Amino acid sequence: MTEDGNENAAQRMFDGDALMRSFGAELDDLGNGTATLSLTVADNMVQAHGTCHGGTIFALADAAFGVACNSGAHPAVAQQCSINYLRPANVGDRLTVEVARRSESGRTGVYDGSVMAEDRTLIAEFRGISRSLPPRD
């Protein structure tokens, strides 16, 4: 778990995410600099090709990044994010993203994440750069 009650701040990040609530996403695990989220791809999450919309996959990874980078002593915001889509996901697939802090220097954090199907097939790779804000009151 996170240090000194920062778990509550990270949990509030997830609880306050209206998009993740609308997707039915779940916070599966939370640690110091880590987060795991999951969701099941629904009919309203597909694009014209009939596969999961890249925006859905990105939003899930970004939400996990937001939770992970807010599990420390300082609140943080995204400075830059990127994703590489490797395989499609389909309606009914259960997607899980695991995000972890790779490094931290000054006010900058680097986080990597993998979006996987239930059988651990890699769907996408995510990288987020965070920027820490002043300490929480």
* Helical axes 54-69 vs 6-15, angle rounded to 10°: 160
- Whether 88 and 52 have beta carbons less than 8 Å apart is answered as yes
> What domains can you pick out in the chain, each with its CATH number?
6-132 (3.10.129.10)
How high is the pLDDT of residue 134? 85
CA pair distance 88, 27, nearest whole angstrom: 22
User: What tokens appear for 129 in the block?
Assistant: 């750069």
Q: What's the pLDDT tens digit per position in 41-85?
A: 999 999 999 999 999 999 999 999 999 999 988 899 999 999 999
- Whether 120 and 75 have beta carbons less than 8 Å apart is answered as no
Half-sphere exposure (Cβ direction) of 92: Cα atoms closer than 13 Å? 1
Cα–Cα distances in angstroms (integers) from residue 114 to residues 38, 62, 74, 128, in the given order: 12, 11, 24, 12
Any bridge partners for residue 97, and if so which? Answer: 37, 115
Residue 34 pLDDT > 90, yes or no?
A: yes
- Count other C-beta atoms under 10 Å from residue 134's C-beta: 8
Q: What's the pLDDT tens digit per position in 79-118?
A: 999 999 999 999 999 999 999 999 999 999 999 999 999 9
Residue 116: name the closest of 87, 100, 98, 96 by CA: 96
Contacts of 86 (CB under 8 A, 6+ apart): 122, 123, 124, 125
